Amino acid sequence: MKKTAKIAEKGKVFITSTFNNTIVTLTDEKGNALGWGSSGSVGFKGTRKSTPFAATSAVDQVVKKVMMKNRLRTVEVFIKGPGSGRDAALRALKSAGLFITMIADVTPMPHNGVRPKKKRRV
């Protein structure tokens, strides 16, 4: 008996936007990765990786890669990090033809953080 891959119609998009890069992962409803990409994997190097245009290019590449196999229509978006590619990645998802049902900011916030370094004596 041959296993057939399930064609996902709903999915989740995880956008991790740091000061140096933007990483996009597209998964199905259960969280199994369908495709991923980053502004570095698109071809940007150095400081250009952290630009909004690089984030847009990364989203476009991931959506094209995943849309060939799946009939993805609606997505939930989870954004993490303080980088400049956050808004640009969202706009790219919208322009790619995906219907966004939810946008959640899952940036980790320290409640008290780690212990500070000892005071410097001169």
> In 21-82, which residue ranges form alpha helices assigned H by DSSP?
39-42, 52-67
pLDDT digits (tens, 9 = 90+) for 90-118: 999 999 888 999 999 999 998 998 999 99
Q: Residue 115 domain-assigned? A: no
39 within some domain: yes
pLDDT tens sequence across 49-72? 989 999 999 999 999 988 888 888
Any domain includes 93: yes
The total domain count for the chain is: 1
Q: What would the pLDDT profile of 7-33 be if each residue is shown by its tens digit?
A: 778 899 999 999 999 999 999 999 899
CATH number at residue 54: 3.30.420.80
Q: State the residue range of the domain holding 64.
A: 10-105
Residue 64 lies in a domain: yes
Cα(87)–Cα(66) distance, rounded to whole angstroms? 21
Is residue 39 within 8 Å of residue 55, measured between CB atoms? yes
Provide the whole-model pTM. 0.85
Summarize pLDDT for 28-52 with one digit per residue, the tens: 999 899 999 999 999 999 999 989 9
